[in-house]
Amino acid sequence: MCLFDSSSSSSSSIMGSELNVRDLSSSISKNDRASSSSSSSSHSKLLTLPTILTLARVASIPLLVATFYMDGWQGTAVTTIIFTAAAVTDWLDGYIARKMKLKSTFGAFLDPVADKLMVAATLILLCTRPLKVVALARAPWLLIIPSITIIGREITMSALREWAASQGSKVLEAVAVNNLGKWKTATQMTALTILLATRDCSRGGPAILAGSGVFLLYIAAGLAIWSFVVYMRKIWKALLSE
C-alpha cells in the first residue's frame, strides 16, 4: 500500500509539473501574441496613409532641388509638377486623416514640418536663380523681400507654438490655425506654382503671368504678417486673462 501511494503521489506530481509547464507555455504564447499585436497596432498607428503621404512630401524635396537646376523646359515642367503634387497631398493627407479618422500625434507633428520645408526650399531656390523675365531680372531683390518675410514668420510661429504648448490651454488655443493662416498658405502655394512654371519665360503673356506670381507672393507675405499680429494679440489677451 505504501508503495502504491508513493507511486501515485509521484505520478500526480509529474502530471502536476507537466500541467504547470503547459500553463506557463500557454501564458508565454499569449503574451507573445499580445506583444506582437500591440507592436503591429503601434506600427499601424504610426504609419497611416496620411503620414506616408507626408513623408513622401519630405522625400520629394531633393528631387525638387535637382530638377530646379536642370536646363530647358523639361526641368521647369518636372519641378512644377513635383511642387504641385506636394501642394495637393498637403491638402489630401489632412482630408484623409479627418475623413477616415487616422489622426496621429506623429502625423500632426510631421505635416506642418513637411509644409514649411517644401515652401522654404522653393523660396530659397527661386532667390538663387533670378527669373528670366526682363522686368523682373533687373530687380532680383523683389523675390528676396517676401521670401525672408515668409520664412522668418514660419520660424517664429514654430517657436511660438512650442512655447505656447508649455503655457496652458488658453495660450495654446490662441495659436491654433485661423482663416488668415489658411488664406496665406493657399496664396503662397498658388504664387510659388506660378513662379516655378514661368521662371524660364522671357516675354508676352507668360511674363505677365510671372508678374502675377510675384504679386501673389507679396500678398502671401502681407497675410503672413497680418496673421502673426492676430496671433500675438490673442496670446496677449490669453496671458492677461490668467
Looking at residue 178, its pLDDT comes to 78
In the block, cell 503621404 appears at 53
Spell out the SS3 assignment of 130-162.
CCCCHHHHCCCHHHHHHHHHHHHHHHHHHHHHH
**Rounded Cα gap, residues 218 and 126, in angstroms:** 14
Closest C-alpha to 211, from 123, 139, 121: 139
Within its chain, how far is the Cα of 166 from the centroid? 21
Looking at residue 221, its pLDDT comes to 96
Residues in the chain, how many? 242
Looking at residue 22, its pLDDT comes to 55
Q: Looking at this protein, which amino acid is placed at residue 77?
A: A
> What contacts 215, CB < 8 A, 6 or more positions away?
191
Largest CA-CA distance found in the chain, in angstroms, rounded: 115
Complete domains list, the chain, with CATH: 47-129 (1.20.120.1760), 131-241 (no CATH)
Tell me the CA distances in angstroms from 91 to 36, 192, 208, 240, one per residue in order. 34, 16, 28, 35
Question: Are 188 and 150 spatial neighbours (Cβ–Cβ below 8 Å)?
Answer: yes
**Rounded Cα gap, residues 168 and 63, in angstroms:** 40
Looking at residue 201, its pLDDT comes to 64
> What contacts 147, CB < 8 A, 6 or more positions away?
123, 124, 126, 127, 217
Tell me the CA distances in angstroms from 228 to 124, 158, 162, 167, 174, one per residue in order. 22, 11, 15, 18, 11
**Rounded Cα gap, residues 175 and 235, in angstroms:** 7
Query: Using alpha carbons only, what angle is made at residue 172 by residues 171 and 177, rounded to the nearest 5 degrees?
Result: 120
In tens digits, the chain (242 residues) has pLDDT values of: 444 454 444 444 544 555 454 554 555 455 555 444 444 444 456 678 888 888 999 999 999 999 999 887 888 899 999 999 999 988 887 778 778 777 777 777 788 888 999 999 999 999 988 777 666 667 778 899 999 999 999 999 988 888 888 887 778 788 887 788 889 999 999 999 999 998 876 544 577 888 899 999 999 999 999 999 999 998 888 887 86
Looking at residue 141, its pLDDT comes to 83
Looking at residue 2, its pLDDT comes to 46
Looking at residue 138, its pLDDT comes to 73
Looking at residue 31, its pLDDT comes to 52
**Rounded Cα gap, residues 182 and 179, in angstroms:** 5
